Amino acid sequence: MSEAALFDCQSCGACCSYSADWPRFTLESDEEISLIPEALIAADLSGMRCEGVRCLALKGEIGKHVACTIYAVRPQVCHACMPGDPECLMAREEHGITTL
């Protein structure tokens, strides 16, 4: 099985449901943040709004089929998390999602 198949983000979503502190704003400009619907931004404007540890922009069932509703304008931290990197593996482990 290819590495891409092992780490299919649209059948995982663990990184988007790992920590309410993870989907934070870091390098985004005010213009970039303004493209994100206000209802999805945390009250303190520090990042994405979460329900528990799950980013509200994530739709679907973790480990089955998920999608980011703001994929094109998601925060930089979301761009930085790559399939199979240490952060990905940590989030997958938390949700019991294996790659084998």
DSSP class of 48: B
Give the Cβ contact number of residue 68 at 10 Å. 19
Cα gap 97→100, rounded to integer Å: 9
The pLDDT of 76-98, averaged and rounded, is: 92
Cα gap 89→93, rounded to integer Å: 6
Q: What is the pLDDT of residues 13-66, one digit of tens each?
A: 999 999 999 999 999 999 999 999 999 999 999 999 999 999 999 999 999 999
pLDDT at 3 over 80: no
Residue 70 confidence (pLDDT): 97
Residue 100 confidence (pLDDT): 56
Which pTM was predicted? 0.89
